[in-house]
């Protein structure tokens, strides 16, 4: 795992340079309007370059068996025995693509899994059911998760399953090495910030509407911040406090963000930093408990300080209770079931 982390660090140092020099070296803009990635987004030149950097460095470790990237339709299976190891790495090489060309923070997100049956690596056939088993595991199998934020400084935030807490490292660009700059603990962060793309509010479901309204009542001191790069919005949340959400709505029924390589690693970090990460949208289930059925699956997400998540749970419980009451729960099984599930 250490070699994989080193490869990710090395990639991020190369990516940092590409990002910093993108306007100078002609890497800004789209590849062309026809090139879309697995999620249907138009690919930026930097999306492709950074994906190649990650894949190249990870393969060279000889420690990986499967690479899953936002930018590749299919998982990359390392068949060549000389290069094949027994770890899976899932990553989004450059998250926040819409912010690339305007010099606003973007990031790389990653998580590492150990193969379930690594003893048989040499002889293992890469049959598809076996592969699916490896890739579509829930977030509790992550052994290491992290992100790199490319901002005024480049920082790596990482958590390793067997170690407590979340660590932050800052890149010394002269020496090209990461220096440890402290633990991240969200529990003692007190800034009152809510972070959500409010331009979608007309399409929100009732739970999101009522919850976000709580932050805008005249007697509250909350302020809104939204960057539009999850890594940056989450980084601020971890260091200042508050919450971040990308819910489902009437237009995006499953939300926008992807389960395996975006939400799982971020949820793992948030929990290890003392916060909470749930699905929201009438579900109080943990993000890490999702059992994905597709590699590029999306999910609604609500993360942040536990106090903020509890606010959501209380306000949604009230909606469900009121609806049960209004509709007479005995004759309205759907709402009653929803309430029961939510309560559990």
Catalytic positions are: 41, 47, 70-71, 92, 94-95, 262
Q: Could you tell me which residues come within 8 angstroms of residue 133 by beta carbon, excluding any fewer than 6 positions away?
A: 116
Indicate the residue among 92 and 308 with the shorter CB distance to Mg ion: 92
Q: What is the per-residue binding string for ligand AHM in 249-278, x denoting contact by CB under 6 A?
A: -------x----------------------
Q: Is residue 296 involved in binding ligand AHM (CB under 6 A)?
A: no
Q: Is residue 97 involved in binding ligand AHM (CB under 6 A)?
A: yes
Indicate if the alpha-carbon torsion angle 150, 152, 153, 156 is positive or negative: negative
- What is the closest distance, in whole angstroms, from the C-beta atom of residue 26 to ligand AHM in the complex? 21
- What is the closest distance, in whole angstroms, from the C-beta atom of residue 184 to ligand AHM in the complex? 19
Q: Which does 292 bind (CB under 5 to 8 A by kind): ligand AHM, Mg ion, none?
A: none
Reported residue count of the chain is 344
Q: Is residue 155 involved in binding ligand AHM (CB under 6 A)?
A: no
Q: Is residue 229 involved in binding ligand AHM (CB under 6 A)?
A: yes
- What is the closest distance, in whole angstroms, from the C-beta atom of residue 120 to ligand AHM in the complex? 35
Q: By the 8 A CB rule, do 306 and 340 touch?
A: no
Q: How many residues bind ligand AHM (CB under 6 A)?
A: 13
Of residues 93-112, those binding Mg ion (CB under 5 A):
95
Q: Is residue 16 involved in binding Mg ion (CB under 5 A)?
A: no
Neighbours of 332 (CB within 10 A): 15
DSSP 39: T
Q: Residue 324: name the closest of 309, 310, 344, 343 by CA.
A: 343
Indicate the residue among 95 and 134 with the shorter CB distance to ligand AHM: 95
Q: Could you tell me which residues come within 8 angstroms of residue 173 by beta carbon, excluding any fewer than 6 positions away?
A: 16, 154
Q: Which does 256 bind (CB under 5 to 8 A by kind): ligand AHM, Mg ion, none?
A: ligand AHM
Q: By the 8 A CB rule, do 4 and 112 touch?
A: yes
Strands (E), the chain: 64-69, 76-77, 87-95, 106-114, 142-150, 154-160, 166-172, 177-184, 193-195, 223-224, 243-246, 276-278, 301-304
Indicate the residue among 252 and 332 with the shorter CB distance to ligand AHM: 252
Residues of this chain that interact with ligand AHM (CB under 6 A) are: 41, 70, 92, 95-98, 197, 228-230, 246, 256
């Amino acid at each position: 795992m250490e070699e994989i982390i080193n490869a990710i660090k090395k990639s991020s140092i190369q990516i940092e340079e590409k990002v910093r020099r993108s306007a100078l070296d002609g890497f800004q803009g789209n590849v062309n309007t026809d090139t879309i990635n697995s999620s249907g987004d138009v690919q930026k030149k930097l999306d492709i370059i950074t994906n190649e950097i990650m894949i190249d460095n990870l393969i060279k470790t000889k420690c990986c068996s499967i690479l899953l990237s936002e930018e590749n339709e299919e998982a990359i299976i390392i068949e060549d025995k000389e290069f094949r190891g027994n770890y899976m790495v899932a990553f989004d090489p450059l998250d926040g693509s819409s912010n690339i060309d305007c010099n606003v923070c973007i990031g790389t997100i990653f998580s590492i899994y150990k193969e379930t049956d690594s003893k048989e690596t040499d002889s293992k056939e890469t049959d598809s059911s076996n592969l699916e088993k490896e890739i579509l595991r829930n977030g509790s199998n992550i052994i290491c998760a992290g992100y790199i934020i490319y901002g005024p400084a480049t920082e790596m935030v990482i958590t390793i399953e067997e170690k407590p807490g979340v660590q932050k490292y800052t890149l010394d660009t002269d020496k090209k090495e990461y220096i440890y700059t402290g633990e991240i603990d969200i529990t003692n962060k007190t800034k009152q910030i809510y972070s959500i793309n409010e331009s979608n509010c007309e399409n929100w479901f009732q739970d999101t509407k009522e919850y976000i309204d709580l932050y805008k009542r005249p007697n509250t001191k909350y302020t809104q911040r939204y960057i539009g790069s999850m890594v940056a919005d989450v980084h601020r949340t971890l260091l200042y406090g508050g919450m971040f959400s990308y819910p489902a709505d009437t237009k995006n029924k499953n939300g926008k963000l992807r389960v395996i390589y975006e939400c799982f690693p971020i949820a793992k970090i948030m929990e290890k930093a003392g916060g909470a990460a749930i699905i929201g949208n009438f579900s109080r289930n943990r993000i890490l408990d999702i059992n994905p059925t597709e590699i590029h699956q999306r999910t609604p997400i609500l993360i942040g300080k536990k106090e903020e998540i509890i606010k959501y749970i209380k306000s949604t419980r009230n909606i469900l209770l009121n609806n049960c009451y209004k509709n007479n729960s005995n004759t309205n099984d759907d709402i009653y079931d929803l309430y029961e599930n939510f309560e559990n």
